[in-house]
């Protein structure tokens, strides 16, 4: 009997995923554990693996379609084996049955008129998923005008969204033609946002719309920190200790200690209620090929420098590999653009946090020492964005100064 392939649950909050790409087509041989499709949620992208060896018999969901967790997206079985009508439509019947029962029991005047019409022609009954029906109702779209692209002409949520897009394009075109005729702008390609990109867009827009953000800039002299880092790396190598002591690790430790010294920054403002945390849960902004995620190091205040380094390496590598890693609950975030040569920038708050630290690239500067002699200093640009509803400029500046103090006195990071 054919084995079902279902939409997996990538994270605790995931309710549906999007089919990004089918890596195999019906009829292709597959090995158990081999990737057969790429899916994405609002935070992660991952591959769906074949549950057993055999042949990909059938695909029930198309690229771009949003599928609830646990719903069947395809079948794997033996070559020549047929997927029964019952098996391939079992989930559809399960979704449609409650609605049919509800319509049977409803008063006559509330029954959908499409139910009593012929099953062919323009007024035929439409197969539509519950998610698509809900979306059509929200957007006030007549499902009779939508052509379904799902199995057996079933209307999917993506079909509804596509109908809205086409309607908006038509309206916009009509308005332009009525007002002024302009030279058309040529476009090389048009495509919709990925699930991850849409999530980032929504979060960033909400962050700017719902907070009062202000950014402070200053540099830290990390000349001694660089020497300290080199010394620790040498000690680790001599003692066969595998550890990745990056500048981000020292920054994370400095931020953690500063948050313990200034707990008013380690806060969330939710519904006019300010929640202050004793624990420090650090978000480490991590860039991916197709977006940005913020894996979280929980209880950074409990971790000495070495353990903190391993935790940061672990969560960032897992995030880049598309593995299931904690992405929520951070109380403060660090984002680093130094590798791209950026000096100062204005990071956007990661809601509902009250602060985020942006880190730039190393800068060499010549300064006079206490003996009036020129010396080369290594400076690190820092950009602190904070929510002015929670903090005023002065305490925010004191907090940033504290971070600089720890970076300029690196031995304190071990205490």
Catalytic site positions: 388, 392
> Do residues 400 and 217 lie in contact, with contact meaning Cβ atoms separated by under 8 Å?
no
Quickly list H helices, 239-344: 247-261, 305-320
First to last CA, the chain: 62
Distance between CA atoms of 259 and 269, rounded to whole angstroms? Answer: 16
Three-class SS of residue 13? coil
**Nearest Cα to Cα of residue 95 among 46, 138, 60:** 60
C-alpha of 91 from chain center:
29
Distance between CA atoms of 124 and 145, rounded to whole angstroms? Answer: 11
Sign of CA dihedral 384, 387, 389, 391: negative
Q: Which helix (H) or strand (E) element contains residue 38?
A: strand 35-40
List of long-range contacts for 364-371, beta carbons under 8 Å, 24+ apart: none
> Do residues 77 and 1 lie in contact, with contact meaning Cβ atoms separated by under 8 Å?
yes
Between 223-238 and 393-408, two packed helices, what is the crossing angle to 10 degrees? 50
Distance between CA atoms of 101 and 226, rounded to whole angstroms? Answer: 71
Three-class SS of residue 47? strand
**Nearest Cα to Cα of residue 358 among 380, 332, 338, 384:** 384
Distance between CA atoms of 168 and 187, rounded to whole angstroms? Answer: 18
> Do residues 315 and 296 lie in contact, with contact meaning Cβ atoms separated by under 8 Å?
yes
3-state secondary structure 228-252: HHHHHHHHHHHCCCCCCCCHHHHHH
Residue length, the chain? 415
Distance between CA atoms of 349 and 269, rounded to whole angstroms? Answer: 12
């Amino acid at each position: 009997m054919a084995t079902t392939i279902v939409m997996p649950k990538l994270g605790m909050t995931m309710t549906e995923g999007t089919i990004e790409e089918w890596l195999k087509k019906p009829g292709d041989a597959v090995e158990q554990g081999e990737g057969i499709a790429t899916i994405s949620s609002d935070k992660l992208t991952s591959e769906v693996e074949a549950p057993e060896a055999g042949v990909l018999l059938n695909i029930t969901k198309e690229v771009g379609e949003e599928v609830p967790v646990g719903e069947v997206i395809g079948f794997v079985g033996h070559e020549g084996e047929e997927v029964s009508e019952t098996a391939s439509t079992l989930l559809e019947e399960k979704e449609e049955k409650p609605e049919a029962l509800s319509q049977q029991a409803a008063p006559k005047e509330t029954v959908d008129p499409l139910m009593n019409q012929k099953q062919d022609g323009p007024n035929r009954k439409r197969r539509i998923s519950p998610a698509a029906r809900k979306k059509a109702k929200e957007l006030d779209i007549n499902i009779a005008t939508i052509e379904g692209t799902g199995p057996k002409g079933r209307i999917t949520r993506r079909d509804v969204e596509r109908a809205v897009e086409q309607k908006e394009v038509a309206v916009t075109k009509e308005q332009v033609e009525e007002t002024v005729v302009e030279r058309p702008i040529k476009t090389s390609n048009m495509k919709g946002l990925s699930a991850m990109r849409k999530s980032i867009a929504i979060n960033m827009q909400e962050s700017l719309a719902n907070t009062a953000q202000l950014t402070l800039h200053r540099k830290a002299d990390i000349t001694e920190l660089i020497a300290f880092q080199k010394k620790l790396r040498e000690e680790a190598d001599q003692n066969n200790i595998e550890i990745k002591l990056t500048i981000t690790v020292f920054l994370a430790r400095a931020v953690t200690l500063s948050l313990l010294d200034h707990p008013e920054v380690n806060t969330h403002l939710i519904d006019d209620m300010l929640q202050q945390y004793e624990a420090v849960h650090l978000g480490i902004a991590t860039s991916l090929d197709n977006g940005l995620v913020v894996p979280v190091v929980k209880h950074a205040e409990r971790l000495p420098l070495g353990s903190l380094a391993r935790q940061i390496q672990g969560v960032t590598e897992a995030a880049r590999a598309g593995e299931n890693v904690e992405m929520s609950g951070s109380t403060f975030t660090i984002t680093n653009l130094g590798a791209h040569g950026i000096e100062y920038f204005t990071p956007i708050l990661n809601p509902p946090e009250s602060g985020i630290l942006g880190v730039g690239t190393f800068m060499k500067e010549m300064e006079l020492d206490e003996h009036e002699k020129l010396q080369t200093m290594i400076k690190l640009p820092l950009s602190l964005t904070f929510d002015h509803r929670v903090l005023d400029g002065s305490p925010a500046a004191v907090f940033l100064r504290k971070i600089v103090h720890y970076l300029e006195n690196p031995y304190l990071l071990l205490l």
